[in-house]
Chain A
């Protein structure tokens, strides 16, 4: 192959220049790879936080509004018999548990000493389950699933009137067992047992978070009593630590059947998880849902992302802004250097190209030869650049500080946040206070990044070659040969 022989010899003759150009491109490309890898790593960490908050595959979350405040001096509670109780202060100043017997009848009260109260609350008001089906039919919506988020607060009163009551609570999510790809369980990692199947929609089975299972010594097969119903633990799952996942998951129907203070949720959900048919549809879907459910809060992943702050957010900004521009600048400098050096080489080779034209080489053949040389330098630059990129990513991994995300606690809580949704405890209405979570991350050199590097380096080489080609195409052989003479 004459083309290859000529190309190889020419590159060998200009080896120092070729290496210089390839190194320049490699430096630019390596920086792009490093920045892209760091950016991808941060984004991955961010999306890890978000998906944990939000659920894998969920594009839009719709939540009901907050219920009214509890009436002062009274709290509705549930015990194992699922009767409705009230907690009042007795005449002796000690708490008393009072049974409500209906309007017009006095409550029957007994001392709370030695008793345990089990209280279920929903921090969000209900949305009719029919709206879930309507949402699913909206244009751009791929699927919609309903869910209920509850908090079970337990208060144990001591025998002695001097002892303080012991309070504990756990969070509980009712999930649509037929749509496991949406909702809080979608991002969970199964540790043992199995997750819900569609057939278990009416069962008294529960899936428990591994942290809660450990603290309560629950295993697959254990029995968990909630609101007087005995649930059998069928699976233990783990969620990313970046959020506060619910402690217990039960089928939606079971959650709806539980008696609650602030009204029951029979036939209702507190959250609708929606996946859009494409990423470009998310905004439109959000608007459609807002039209369908004017009183509900509609949150998209991007609006949620804006509420995740902390060093992970700063790192993302650093990678996206400073890193990207730095990479662009270095890449531009590398391109400019490649162009200048290639043009200088063409100037030195004017007589050579003039001679080739004189002996019958067509311009396109000469141009192809020069582009081949430039592409070869570009490919070498790409290979070196990818190597440098990996090295850069390794350095970033070694020296990068630990990242964290502040989830919730936005300084200006907005109604647009899915407050109170377990796993998305953002906003002032959430049961979980703003908290900082560590975000494990490392630069991620993906195939896409490598492909980008190769394309950029070869494009840089070809850009330089194209300028040279333009010059060669305009070269008149008589003029070129006169330079020698």
Chain B
């Protein structure tokens, strides 16, 4: 469970200090799917970075399962990300020189898992996203949708508690977008993940349990249920 208390994140732009997130109070339950919408520059990605321990709040605390992320050292945060948090990016962020399987395997490297076990889990992960036959392909040999499936497999292969998706369908066409959202929804249900998904697409957001809108650094919950 995430618990954000009075979280503020300020950035310096020259001499000015710009608040990206302001005094955020938020609880995200285990296994909950929260969709976050909002206009560009209103703090969606900053919120995701704070949740993922990629950034630290200027004020306030972000707790994951009772652990204050801000109190952890860089090494502990990295370890936490390696074990408990899966990231999915809009631009897929696959390593271009590694094959689909190797990209997925990269997520298991920090966990110190043996090679045979890694291979087995990678195969299972790729199968779960429907890409078992594309394991040896490089990202450039895959379509955008396939690349995002690889990215989803990379996020899920370590069996995280939390998946943070930053506009995962932003670079995909409509049909592919539905496939990917369907896949994410299926995996969320099957695995009981906590899913925080940033999207501009209201159609996708409506499928979440809760929808929040970031506006001027503040989160306004607009929809419950889903």
Contacts and interface: CB of A to CB of B under 8 A. Distances in A.
Interface centre among A356, A362, A363, A478 (most CB of B within 10 A): A478
Contact of B89 (A2, A5, A6, A484): A484
Interface in A438-485: 476-478, 481-482, 484-485
A325 interface: no
Contacts of B83: 360
A94 to B, nearest CB: 102
A365 interface: yes
Given A484-B89, A485-B45, A485-B90, A357 B78 contact: yes
Contacts of B110: 359-362, 365
B135 interface: no
Nearest to A9: B97
A12 B98 CA distance: 11
A10 interface: yes
Interface residues of B, number: 33
Given A5-B102, A13-B97, A361 B89 contact: no
A288 interface: no
A482 to B, nearest CB: 7
A5 B109 CA distance: 13
A355 B93 contact: yes
A481 B98 contact: no
Given A2-B105, A362-B78, A10 B49 contact: no
A481 B55 CA distance: 11
B129 interface: no
Interface centre among B74, B78, B158 (most CB of A within 10 A): B78
A478 B107 CA distance: 18
Interface in B83-102: 83, 86-87, 89-91, 93, 95-98, 102
Interface string A150-174: 0000000000000000000000000
Contacts of A482: 45
A356 B106 contact: yes
B91 A13 contact: no
Q: Name the prevailing secondary structure of the A interface residues.
A: helix
B138 to A, nearest CB: 9
Nearest to A484: B91
A361 B154 CA distance: 13
Nearest to A358: B87
B106 A362 contact: no
Given A359-B154, A478-B54, A484 B78 contact: no
A478 B49 contact: yes
Contacts of A2: 102, 105-106, 109
A204 interface: no
A352 B89 CA distance: 12
Contacts of B97: 6, 9-10, 12-13
A209 to B, nearest CB: 70
A4 to B, nearest CB: 12
A319 interface: no
Interface residues of A, number: 27
Interface string B62-85: 000000000000110011011100
Interface string B24-63: 0000000000000000000001000100101100000000
A360 B45 contact: no
A5 B105 CA distance: 12
B54 A358 contact: yes
A2 to B, nearest CB: 6
B94 to A, nearest CB: 8
Interface string B110-142: 110000000000000000000000000000000
A477 to B, nearest CB: 5
Interface string B152-175: 001100100000001000000000
A9 B82 CA distance: 23
Contacts of A359: 81-82, 86-87, 106-107, 110, 154-155
A360 B110 CA distance: 6
Interface string A354-388: 11111111110100000000000000000000000
A360 B54 contact: no
Given A356-B95, A360-B78, A362-B75, 9 more contacts: A6-B98, A355-B89, A360-B81, A360-B82, A477-B54, A484-B93, A485-B90, A485-B91, A485-B166
Interface of A: 2, 5-6, 9-10, 12-13, 351-352, 354-363, 365, 476-478, 481-482, 484-485
What are the 4 closest A-B residue pairs judged by CB atoms, nearest first?
Answer: A360-B82, A9-B97, A360-B110, A355-B93
23 contacts: A2-B105, A6-B98, A6-B102, A13-B97, A352-B96, A355-B87, A356-B95, A357-B54, A358-B52, A359-B155, A360-B78, A360-B79, A360-B82, A360-B83, A360-B111, A361-B106, A361-B109, A362-B75, A365-B110, A478-B54, A481-B49, A485-B45, A485-B91
Interface of B: 45, 49, 52, 54-55, 74-75, 78-79, 81-83, 86-87, 89-91, 93, 95-98, 102, 105-107, 109-111, 154-155, 158, 166
